[in-house]
C-alpha cells in the first residue's frame, strides 16, 4: 500500500517536472526566434544599402517626476545579443543583464538626459525630441539610417524611419529602449535615496496610488514636474 501511495504521489510530480521542462524549452525557443526576428528587421535596412543602422528610444515621458532619457544604439551584426526586447516586457533583472550585454558589444551608444526643469520649460513633447536628438548626436558618428520608436523626430541627421512599437520589432531599438530605461531607473533609485518619503525606487516617478498618497501627504519635491497634473495644482515645489 505504501508503494502504491508513493507511486501515486510521484507520478503527478514527474508529469509536472516534464511539463515544466517542456514549457521552459518552448519559452527558450520562442525567445531565440523573437531575437532572430529583431535582427532580421535591422538586416532588412542593411540589405537596402544602409550599412550603419541606429535605433532610438526614450524612457520617462509619462512620470510625474524626474527626467526623460533617450538612447541611441548601433549594434554589430554579429554577435547577436540575447535578451533583447521591449524594455517594458523585461523584468528589472533581465533589463540589467541585457544592459551589460549591450554596453559590452554595441558599436556605439549615445544617451541624453533632459531634466524636469527643462520639461517644465518647453513641454514634454519638445523635451523628448531634444533627448532623442541629443542621443543620436552623442553616438559619435552619423548613421545611414535611424530607426525611431514611435513618431518621427525633427532635426536628426541622415535618413530616419519611425516604427510603431519598434522596441518589439527592431534589435537596435530594443537595445536603445533597455539603455534608456535602465539609465532612468538608476537615476530614480538615487532620487529615492535623496527624497525617501516618495519611494521613487519603487514607482520611478510614475503616477501610482502610492505616489499620489505621498504627494497628498508631503506635497511635491524639487524633481517633480510642475507642468504635470496633479503636481501643477500644488504650486511650486517645496521640499528641499
217-235 per-position pLDDT tens digit: 999 999 999 999 999 987 6
29 located within any domain = no
Q: Which domain holds residue 197?
A: 51-207
Q: Higher pLDDT residue, 195 or 26? A: 195
Segment 181-197 shows an average pLDDT of 98
- CA–CA dist 76, 31 (Å, integer): 19
The pLDDT score that the predictor gives to residue 43 is 96
The pLDDT score that the predictor gives to residue 26 is 54
158 located within any domain = yes
Percent of the chain whose predicted confidence (pLDDT) is above 90:
74
Provide the b/e sequence for 86-121 (b: ≥16 CB within 10 Å): bbeebeeeebeebbebbeeebeebbbbbbbbebbbe
pLDDT surpasses 90 at 144: yes
Instruction: Give the global pTM.
Output: 0.86
Q: Is 185 helix (H, G, I), strand (E, B) or coil?
A: helix
**Which tens digits make up the pLDDT trace of 10-48?**
444 344 445 576 666 655 556 667 788 999 999 999 999
The pLDDT score that the predictor gives to residue 24 is 60
Segment 189-203 shows an average pLDDT of 97
**Which tens digits make up the pLDDT trace of 83-109?**
898 898 899 999 999 999 999 999 999
10 located within any domain = no
114 located within any domain = yes
148 located within any domain = yes
Segment 46-63 shows an average pLDDT of 97
85 located within any domain = yes
- CA–CA dist 89, 76 (Å, integer): 23
Q: Which of 10-14, 91-95, 159-163, 192-196 has the lowest mean pLDDT?
A: 10-14
7 located within any domain = no
- Residue 156 belongs to a domain with what CATH number? 3.30.420.10
What 8-state DSSP symbol labels residue 228? S
The pLDDT score that the predictor gives to residue 82 is 83
Question: For the chain, what is the mean pLDDT?
Answer: 88
Band of pLDDT at residue 158, cut at 50, 70 and 90:
confident
Count the domains in the chain.
1
Question: Under a CB-based contact definition with an 8 Å cutoff, are residues 220 and 226 in contact?
Answer: yes
Percent of the chain whose predicted confidence (pLDDT) is above 70:
85
Amino acid at each position: 500500500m505504501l508503494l502504491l501511495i508513493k507511486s501515486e504521489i510521484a507520478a503527478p510530480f514527474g508529469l509536472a517536472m516534464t511539463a515544466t521542462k517542456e514549457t521552459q524549452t518552448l519559452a527558450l525557443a520562442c525567445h531565440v526566434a523573437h531575437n532572430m526576428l529583431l535582427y532580421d528587421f535591422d538586416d532588412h535596412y542593411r540589405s537596402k544599402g544602409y550599412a550603419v543602422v541606429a535605433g532610438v528610444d526614450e524612457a520617462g515621458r509619462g512620470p510625474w517626476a524626474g527626467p526623460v532619457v533617450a538612447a541611441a544604439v548601433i549594434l554589430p551584426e554579429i554577435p547577436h545579443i540575447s535578451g533583447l526586447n521591449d524594455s517594458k516586457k523585461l523584468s528589472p533583472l533581465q533589463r540589467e543583464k541585457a544592459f551589460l550585454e549591450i554596453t559590452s558589444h554595441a558599436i556605439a551608444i549615445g544617451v541624453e538626459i533632459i531634466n524636469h526643469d527643462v520639461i517644465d520649460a518647453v513641454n514634454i513633447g519638445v523635451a523628448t525630441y531634444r533627448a532623442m536628438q541629443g542621443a543620436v548626436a552623442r553616438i559619435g558618428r552619423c548613421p545611414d539610417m535611424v530607426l525611431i520608436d514611435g513618431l518621427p523626430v525633427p532635426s536628426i541627421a541622415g535618413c530616419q524611419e519611425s516604427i510603431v512599437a519598434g522596441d518589439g520589432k527592431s534589435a537596435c531599438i530594443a537595445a536603445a529602449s533597455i539603455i534608456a530605461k535602465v539609465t532612468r531607473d538608476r537615476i530614480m533609485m538615487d532620487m529615492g535615496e535623496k527624497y525617501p518619503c516618495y519611494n521613487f525606487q519603487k514607482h520611478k516617478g510614475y503616477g501610482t496610488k502610492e505616489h499620489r498618497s505621498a504627494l497628498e501627504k508631503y506635497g511635491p519635491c524639487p524633481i517633480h514636474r510642475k507642468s504635470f497634473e496633479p503636481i501643477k495644482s500644488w504650486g511650486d515645489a517645496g521640499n528641499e
